[in-house]
Amino acid sequence: MDVAIIGAAMTDFGEREGWILELLSEAGRACLDDAGVAGDAVDHLVVSNMASGEFEGQTGTMNALASDLGVLPAYAERVDQTSASGGAGLQTAVRAVASGTSEMALLVGGEKMTHRKTAESADIVASVTHPFEYAHGVTLPSFAGLVARLYLSETAATCESLAAVAVKNHRHACSNPHAQFHKPITRSDVLESPLVADPLRLYDYCPVTDGSAALLCCPVSTAREYTDEFVRVTGIGGATDTHLVQHRPNPMQLRAVEESGQTALSMADCRPADIDVAELHDMATVLEPLQLEALGFAEQGDGWKHAIGEAIPSGPLSVNTSGGLKARGHPLGATGVAQAVEVYRQLLGEAGDRQVEADRGLTCNIGGFGNCVTTAVFEGGA
Amino acid sequence: MDVAIIGAAMTDFGEREGWILELLSEAGRACLDDAGVAGDAVDHLVVSNMASGEFEGQTGTMNALASDLGVLPAYAERVDQTSASGGAGLQTAVRAVASGTSEMALLVGGEKMTHRKTAESADIVASVTHPFEYAHGVTLPSFAGLVARLYLSETAATCESLAAVAVKNHRHACSNPHAQFHKPITRSDVLESPLVADPLRLYDYCPVTDGSAALLCCPVSTAREYTDEFVRVTGIGGATDTHLVQHRPNPMQLRAVEESGQTALSMADCRPADIDVAELHDMATVLEPLQLEALGFAEQGDGWKHAIGEAIPSGPLSVNTSGGLKARGHPLGATGVAQAVEVYRQLLGEAGDRQVEADRGLTCNIGGFGNCVTTAVFEGGA
C-alpha cells in the first residue's frame, strides 16, 4: 500500500475538562504541528468517535473540528465501530489515500466519558451489545469474566498470569507521559482488588478515560516533501464475528482478530515473527493473551506465557509499550489511533524511556467482545 | 473510477414498526436479492446511520447487521455525517472498492425516528448544531427560514415559487411506491399550512421518517460476472463549510455543495449540462433552488425557476423524481443512499411510472445546514 504516516500526536489521557471538540482539536492541532503541515493541506478529515451524542448530547463533531482546525473545505466524516472506532478510522484514512481520492488525510479519534457517572458510562458502552444478551445482564466486562473463567479452566494460566498483564502494562505506562496512570502495581494489588466478574477483578480492567489522538496520512510518493522520517502502513484488515457471543462455537477464539490479522499480515507480506512491537486491545487482561494466540504470536492456550516473560514462538515481541488500554487509558474512539501513535513513535525511535528495538509494528483494536476488529501493520524507515 | 453498482433496494419509507436492525436488514437483504449475490460474497459492510444510540439506546448496529445478513467475516463499520450519512457511506463504499481493499461492498443506510415525540426527534437532530448557535435557538428549520427570507428579498422568487418545489416533489412521490406520501398537494395547501419559520410553512419541510436503503458496489471489471446491467459511479466529492453558519459571508451560498459538486463533476469529466436526473437534498423547499445554483445548473438567484417549469441554462433536468426528502421522506442515514437508489433505477430504466430519459445522474446529500456535503455522479450502461 502506498500510504505513509507523517505526523502523530495525542493528548494526555485521563480525566479532562471541556467538551469533545476541545480534546479533538488539541490532538488534531498537535498532529499538524508535529508534521509541520498547514491545515489547508488536509483534504479529508476522519473523526473516530463512538458516542458523543450519548455522552454529551452533541453530534456533528467532524464539522466542528474541520472549522476549528481550519481544514475547510476538506471532506469530514465520523467513523464508528464502537470501541474499535479508532482502528476503523485508520482504515478509512488509509483507504482514502490508497484510493487516490485524498492527498492528505487527518485522522482524529477521541472520547469524553469521565463527566458521566460510571453506571451511565457503562450503560452507554453496553449499548453495543445485542439487546437479547444485554437483557440477560451480559455486558462487555461480564463477557470477559466468563471467558477468563473458561481460559483458566482449559489452559495452564492462573489468576496470577492474567494479573501479570496488568502489572506489565502499568510498568510501561510509567514511561509514557500521556498515559492515564503513572503508578506501578504488583500482582498482589491486582489479586486483592475488588471482584468485578469472577475471576476478573477491578485491576484486570481498563479505566474510564477522556482523551484524543491523531495521525496524518499521505501517499508515500509525496511523504518526502514533508519529512525525511515517516512510517508506512503496509497492511490493513478488518473483520466481524457474530453479534451474539453465544453463537460462537468457542468464545475464547477471537475469530475476527484471526481474520483481520491474517488479512493485514498477508497484505504486508509479513509473518508474526517479523513484528517487533504490538499494541493490543487489553480492555480486560485476558484479552491480551487471547489476541497473542489469535494473531499467531503464540500457540493456542499459551498466550499467557508472554506477560510472565516466557519466550513465545514468534520471537521477541514488545506488547503494549504505551501502557495499553489498561494503563494508558481507553477513551473509546481514541484508542485505535493512540495504538498507532505508539507504534509510529517506536518505529521512528521517538519513544523515550520506553523505546524498544523495532522495524515493524502491529495494532489490534477490538469493538464489542471481538465483534468487530481492525488490525494494521506498519513499517519504519523512509 | 472503477466502481459499479450492481444492486439496489429500499424499504417503504414512513412510520415503521420494529427497531433499526429490522429496517437495515430488510433493505440489505432486498439489495443482495436484487443483485442475485450471496451474503458471503460481501467483504465490506458500511452502515450509514446518524443516531441509533440517541433514538433507540442501541449502537453496534453494523455488527448486528453483519450477523443478520450472514456477511461474516466482512469488515463492518458505521459512517456518520449527520443527515448526509447516506452520501458519506456511499463515498466510503466507493473508496473501499477503488482502493482495492474490497471486492464487494454493501452499503445500508437507515434511521428509526418516528417512535420518538417530534420534539425529542428535533432535539436529537439539533445536536448537530454548534452549541453556541443552538443555545440561541437556531435549529436547522430556523436556519432554512432565515435563508428563505433572504432569498425572497434578494431574488425574484416568491413564497409561491418555493411552494412549487413541494408541489412537484409530492407529485413525483405519487409514482414512487416506497415514498412516505402518495398525496398530491397544491400551492395553496403549502401556503395555507401552519407557519414554522417565517416565511417557511409546515409543507415547506420534509417529514420525520423511518426507513432504510441499500446499494451493492464492486469493481466495474467484475460487475459483468454478476449482471449485464449496472451503473457506474464516475465521480465523488465531499466538502465541509464553517460549522457556525454565522461565519459564512453569504448564507445563501452553499459553498460545500459548490466544492463537492465541482470535485465530483470534474472526476466524472462532466459538466452540469451532461446530467439528466438529480436527487437533491430538499429538507426545506428553499434548499432545492439553492443547490441548483451551487451545482451550476442555474444562475445565482435563478434556481427557483426550475420548479415552476422555466428552462434552466444547463438544459432539461429532472429533479427529485423519487419525491425527494419532502415526499419520499427523510430517515437521516437512509436519505443519501435512497437518492442513489433512485438514480440507479432511473439510469437502468427501472423507475416505472416516474421514469425519465437519463444517461447520467447526480446526487447531493447535505448534513447540518450545508455544513458537510457529499455529491456523486453516476453513468448508466454496461
All residues of chain B having their beta carbon less than 8 Å from the beta carbon of residue A127 are 53, 57-60
| 3-state secondary structure (DSSP) of residue B333 | helix
In this prediction, residue B260 carries a pLDDT of 98
Question: Across all residues in chain A, what is the average pLDDT?
Answer: 96
Q: Give the model confidence (pLDDT) of A292-333 as tens digits.
A: 999 999 999 999 999 999 999 988 999 999 999 999 999 999
Same domain membership, residue B325 and residue B258:
yes
Same domain membership, residue A226 and residue A190:
no
Residue A381 has pLDDT above 80, yes or no: no
Q: Is the peptide bond before B73 cis (omega within 30 degrees of 0)?
A: yes
Same domain membership, residue B102 and residue B167:
no
Shortest CA distance from A64: residue in chain B = B243
Cα-based torsion angle of the residue sequence B187, B191, B192, B195 in order, rounded to the nearest 10 degrees:
150
State the maximum Cα–Cα separation within chain A, in Å, rounded to a whole number: 56
In this prediction, residue B70 carries a pLDDT of 96
| 3-state secondary structure (DSSP) of residue B138 | coil
All residues of chain B having their beta carbon less than 8 Å from the beta carbon of residue A53 are 51, 53-54, 124, 127
Residue B311 has pLDDT above 80, yes or no: yes
Q: Does B238 touch chain A (CB under 8 A)?
A: yes
Task: Report whether B90 contacts B234 (CB < 8 A).
Answer: no
Q: Does B309 touch chain A (CB under 8 A)?
A: no
Same domain membership, residue A185 and residue A59:
no
Inside any domain, residue A172: yes
Question: In sequence order, which residues have a C-beta less than 8 Å from that of residue A310 and are 6 or more positions away?
Answer: none
In this prediction, residue B129 carries a pLDDT of 87
Inside any domain, residue A14: yes
Task: Report whether A93 contacts A44 (CB < 8 A).
Answer: yes
In this prediction, residue B135 carries a pLDDT of 85
Same domain membership, residue B200 and residue B78:
no
In this prediction, residue A36 carries a pLDDT of 96
Shortest CA distance from A19: residue in chain B = B131
> DSSP secondary structure string, B148-170?
HHHHHHHSS--HHHHHHHHHHHH
Residue B382 has pLDDT above 80, yes or no: no
Q: Which of A231, A263, A283 is the last residue of a domain?
A: A231
Q: Does B126 touch chain A (CB under 8 A)?
A: no
Say whether A238 and B80 touch across the interface (CB within 8 A).
Answer: no
Q: Give the model confidence (pLDDT) of B175-192 as tens digits.
A: 999 999 999 999 999 999
In this prediction, residue B130 carries a pLDDT of 85
Say whether B75 and A131 touch across the interface (CB within 8 A).
Answer: no
Task: Report whether A252 contacts A290 (CB < 8 A).
Answer: yes
**Across B3-8, average pLDDT:** 98
Inside any domain, residue A94: yes
All residues of chain B having their beta carbon less than 8 Å from the beta carbon of residue A128 are 59-60, 63
CA distance A373 to chain B (A): 8
Inside any domain, residue A122: no
Residue of B24, B45, B52, B95 to mutate, testing the A interface (most A Cβ within 10 Å of its Cβ): B95
Cell of A42: 488536509
Q: Give the model confidence (pLDDT) of A62-100 as tens digits.
A: 999 999 999 999 999 999 999 999 999 999 999 999 999
Q: Smallest Cβ distance to A53: which of B54, B71, B237?
A: B54
Q: Give the model confidence (pLDDT) of B245-300 as tens digits.
A: 999 999 999 999 999 999 999 999 999 999 999 999 999 999 999 999 999 999 99
Cell of B192: 395555507
Q: Give the count of Cβ contacts less than 8 A between chain A and B.
A: 202
Q: What is the 3-state secondary structure (H, E, C) of A149-208?
A: HHHHHHCCCCHHHHHHHHHHHHHHHCCCCCCCCCCCCCHHHHHCCCEEECCEEHHHECCC
Inside any domain, residue A44: yes
Q: Please list, residue by residue across B254-263, b when 16 or more beta carbons sit within 10 angstroms of its beta carbon and e when fewer do.
A: bbbbbbbbbb
Residue B13 belongs to domain spanning: 3-116+208-231
Q: Does A156 touch chain B (CB under 8 A)?
A: no
Residue B126 has pLDDT above 90, yes or no: no
Inside any domain, residue A162: yes
Cell of B373: 456535503
Q: Which residue has the higher pLDDT, B122 or B152?
A: B152
Distances (CA, A) of B112 to A165, A351, B168: 42, 46, 26
Inside any domain, residue A124: no
Task: Report whether A382 contacts A371 (CB < 8 A).
Answer: no
In chain A, the number of structural domains is 2
Cα-based torsion angle of the residue sequence B100, B105, B111, B112 in order, rounded to the nearest 10 degrees:
-140
Question: In sequence order, which residues have a C-beta less than 8 Å from that of residue B15 and are 6 or more positions away?
Answer: B114, B210
Same domain membership, residue A168 and residue A51:
no
Angle between helices B287-294 and B255-267 (to 10 degrees): 50
Say whether A240 and B76 touch across the interface (CB within 8 A).
Answer: yes
Inside any domain, residue A224: yes
Same domain membership, residue B97 and residue B187:
no
Distances (CA, A) of B258 to A135, B254, B280, B294, B319: 48, 6, 13, 5, 17
Residue A382 has pLDDT above 70, yes or no: no
Question: Across all residues in chain B, what is the average pLDDT?
Answer: 96
Residue A16 has pLDDT above 70, yes or no: yes
Distances (CA, A) of B199 to A78, B160, B192, B203, B271: 33, 11, 12, 11, 33
Same domain membership, residue A141 and residue A22:
no
Say whether A238 and B77 touch across the interface (CB within 8 A).
Answer: yes
Q: Which residue has the higher pLDDT, A132 or A152?
A: A152
Query: What is the domain-level CATH number for residue A196?
Result: 3.40.47.10
Same domain membership, residue A250 and residue A102:
no
Q: Smallest Cβ distance to B57: which of A62, A127, A130?
A: A127
Same domain membership, residue B179 and residue B47:
no
Q: Give the model confidence (pLDDT) of A42-68 as tens digits.
A: 999 999 999 999 999 999 999 999 999
Q: What is the 3-state secondary structure (H, E, C) of B252-286?
A: CCCHHHHHHHHHHHHHCCCCHHHCCEEECCCCECC
Residue B131 has pLDDT above 90, yes or no: no
Q: Give the model confidence (pLDDT) of A135-161 as tens digits.
A: 888 889 999 999 999 999 999 999 999
Shortest CA distance from B243: residue in chain A = A64
Same domain membership, residue B214 and residue B160:
no
**Is 0.90 surpassed by the pTM of this model?**
yes
All residues of chain A having their beta carbon less than 8 Å from the beta carbon of residue B88 are 77
Same domain membership, residue B248 and residue B145:
yes
Say which residue the cell 437495515 belongs to.
B24
Say whether B60 and A129 touch across the interface (CB within 8 A).
Answer: yes
Q: Which of B185, B216, B231 is the last residue of a domain?
A: B231
**Across B64-91, average pLDDT:** 97
In this prediction, residue B146 carries a pLDDT of 96
Residue A190 has pLDDT above 90, yes or no: yes
Q: For the beta carbon of residue A29, count every other beta carbon within 10 angstroms.
A: 18
